[in-house]
Structures are given as C-alpha cells and as structure tokens.
Chains A and B, each alone.
Chain A
C-alpha cells in the first residue's frame, strides 16, 4: 500500500491509471482540469500508454469514449457542470449501447450566474440517463470509487456506464492522504475488460444501435432497467470484495454512521457528509441521539437499505445540495417516493444547503438537529422544504 497526499482530482487520475484505462477523451473545464492534466503528465513521463484524445468539446469527449468503448477499450473521461450538460445526449447513447465507460464528474453549479463551486444539480440532472452514480465523501472514496466503478460497470450482468462524483474544490483541489494498493493487487481486483460485443470481428460483423420499431424498443429499455437493478447486487459484492482486499468496505450502498439508536438521521451525499459525521460526534457528546446516512450510490437507488433505515428512526433530515425547480431537493424527492408504499413513515424534511458552494458547517448541522427535534417531538412539520441558507 502506497500512501500519497493528493487532491481529489489527482486521486481520480491515479485511479484511472491504476485501472489501466486505455483511452481517455476529455475537454478541460474548471474544476475538472487537473484530472486530465495529471493523466497527460503520466503519458508525458512514460508512466502510462493511455491513448489520449484531446477533443474539441465535452459532447465529443463522450462521443469519442463511446467509439473507443464500443471498440473494446476501457475508456475514461471527466467533466463538470456545463460540460456534463453538453454531454447529456451522449450519456443516453453510452447506456443504450451498453458501454461501461467511467467518468468523474466534479460537482459544480450550473450557470447563470457563473459559478465554479460545489453543487449537485449538474449530476442529479443526469439521473435518468442510465448511468450509475457514486457520490464520494473524500479523496479516498474518489480513488476507490473509480476502481470499483470499472469493476461494477464491466460486470457481465451490468454493462452500464458509471459516474463517480466529487465536490468542486472541497475535494477536487484539497489535498488528503489516499491509500493506493500495489498495481498487481489492483490488476487482480480489476482484470482486463471482457466486452459484451466487438466491432473487430470482421467475419461476423454487427451493426450496433440500428432503428428499433415500437415492436422491439420497449424490450431493450427493460433490459437496461434489469441491468440497473442487478447492479445493486453487483455493487454490494464488489464493495465487499474491495473491503476484503484493500481494507475499506463498500458493501453498503448507504453508509450508516451511528444510526443504531438514533431518533434523527441526517441523510445526504458527497463531501458534505464529512461535516455531518463530525457534527454527529459533537451532538452525541451533547446527548443528542442522532446519526448520519450517507447515500453513496444514487443510481441505482438503494431503496431497500433506505427502507431498513427509515423503519427505525423518527425523523430524517435530508440535506440537498441541489434543487429541482418546481419540485424540491432531489434526494428528498426520491427518498420520499421510495417510502410511500411501505410502512416506514418517519417525518422527513428537506434542507436545501450549500447551493453554489455556500459553506456548510457543523454549526449548521446543529441548527438542523434542533429544528428537526422540535418537529419530531411535536409531530408537526412546519414546512417540507427549507431553504436553510437563505439570507432572511
């Protein structure tokens, strides 16, 4: 095991190299740039022989990754916000053509107004594209996430693309210690890709993605839905194997922190959950029975794990660093939906926090805890959605 002090972006770049990625096609955007710069540096230093395609847009980045992946290569890219939005069409293409491309998205707020800071709306807006989504809490999870994502995506029963998501600057440009296993051990964990199909069998040529009429299109969509469902099992298996090999267990799609006896649970995704865990420790010392539930995988959505959690708590404070206009926070919306047809009915409130990179602190969590406790004790929900950080 090598320990390196690296930024979240460098962790992503090292993981891509260690995953023996064969083709990288990418386009620069703040705050993703240092990922692709680092990969270029690996190539320049002779540390890696990745085929590097410096495309002219994110749309072409995804299109080139799709061409490469369809030809059998392990393909990787990275982007943020506007770049991810520009890729949108091709995200559907990647999943429809069943290509296990892995991409790091550095969460960044959508413009206008221009912003380069952390916000999950860019990636959550891509939730229906058939991509798996893993939200990393810290640099180690960025690194581990990329390695696991390839293994899950390339699994014979999954064959779908995966997005590893990290926070702008909070992770992307902040240095922390990351454990990197020896290359031989990674190679054992992640053997070369076995593609579902190949464009290089010239004696048995195939056409991929031709027109399907209403008589057939439906079944192909169902296949993707099934693969995504199957991915839940595969994620748990791979997460467990990762833990056994490298000491960090990812067998749970929702990481639970001190929830066993908790009355109130803070639920959220990504780097803000680091702050939440710290706040839970503080609150516990002060006598509050609170815990944290970090949703690691948003797609496929961990419905069963959420139900198991929700059964035993009185209140869930959902922390959404994102918003769906005309509705509510996206995680809140999904979580509520999952529980509707069950007997688990905790009181749930949506706290819109940290939008556009606004600071989210331990003090904030304490305020939310007090608010939520009042609601749970009184049994009265004052409002479903609270723009918590709003100046008023």
Chain B
C-alpha cells in the first residue's frame, strides 16, 4: 500500500551527497526533503491497526507527530513503517482500541 501523505515528494526523495566543493551550493540552502530519512528503524514497538475495530475517526492520523499514518482510498488509516518511530500515541489515543503496539522482531 502506498503512502498517500506526501504525493510525489516521497518519490523524489533521494540522498544528496557532494564529493567536491564545486558541487556545493554557495550557502547552506536545503535541496531536498527529510523524506529521504527512513526513521522507521528507530522503532521498538510497532502499531498494528485492526480494521475490524477501526471506526475511521482519524484520531490516530490527527495525532501522529511524524506524520506516518496515512489514509487509504478505502478510508481506513494505515501506518507507513518506513517513517513510524513507534511512539504509540496512536494506540493510546484510539477510542476503540483498534491499534495494538507489538514488539518488533528485527
């Protein structure tokens, strides 16, 4: 399932590394987005959404600080594990307890 939060910015994101001084811009202005940085590897616990319990209130989406919870075309929320740091806010705030935090085996 494709993350719907960032559109083409997500596809455009790629690491930018300069090898020679001439390649650098004249001053430190940004040249890309942080979407290049896959923060999912910070995670210890992963949120898992149970669609049977989900009532599509989008509270999890609203309170995600990354944001890494996106909404699928069918209206259910989903987690982009590339970015989710596993803070657990979504699970804590879910009114129907549809999100469970599961220790991740790596």
- Which of A's residues lie within 8 Å of B, judged by CB? 96-98, 159, 196-197, 206-210, 212, 216, 219-220, 222-223, 227
The majority secondary structure among interface residues of chain A is: loop
CB neighbours (8 Å) of B27 from chain A are 96-98, 159, 196-197, 208-209, 220, 223
- B24 on the interface (CB 8 Å rule)? yes
For the complex formed, measure the closest distance between the CB of B78 and the CB atoms of chain A, giving whole angstroms: 27
Q: In the complex, which residues 25-43 of chain B have their Cβ closer than 8 Å to any Cβ of chain A?
A: 26-30
- B6 on the interface (CB 8 Å rule)? no
- Complex: A206 Cα to B26 Cα, angstroms: 14
- B1 on the interface (CB 8 Å rule)? no
* 6 A-B pairs closest in CB distance: A207-B30, A98-B27, A206-B29, A219-B24, A219-B21, A206-B30
For the complex formed, measure the closest distance between the CB of B34 and the CB atoms of chain A, giving whole angstroms: 10
- Complex: A96 Cα to B26 Cα, angstroms: 10
Closest to B21 in A: A219
Closest to B20 in A: A219
Q: Which of B18, B21, B24, B29 contacts A197 (CB 8 A)?
A: B29
Interface size on B, residues (CB 8 A): 8
Q: Pick 12 A–B contacts, CB within 8 A, sort by A.
A: A96-B27, A97-B27, A98-B26, A98-B27, A197-B27, A207-B30, A208-B28, A210-B30, A212-B28, A216-B28, A220-B28, A227-B26
CB neighbours (8 Å) of B21 from chain A are 219, 222-223
Closest to B22 in A: A219
Closest to A226 in B: B21
For the complex formed, measure the closest distance between the CB of A207 and the CB atoms of chain B, giving whole angstroms: 4
Q: Can you name 13 extra interface pairs (CB under 8 A) apart from A196-B27, A206-B30, A220-B27? A: A97-B27, A159-B27, A196-B26, A197-B29, A206-B29, A209-B28, A210-B30, A219-B18, A220-B28, A222-B21, A223-B24, A223-B26, A223-B27
CB neighbours (8 Å) of B24 from chain A are 216, 219-220, 223
For the complex formed, measure the closest distance between the CB of A98 and the CB atoms of chain B, giving whole angstroms: 4
B28 in contact with A210 (CB, 8 Å): yes
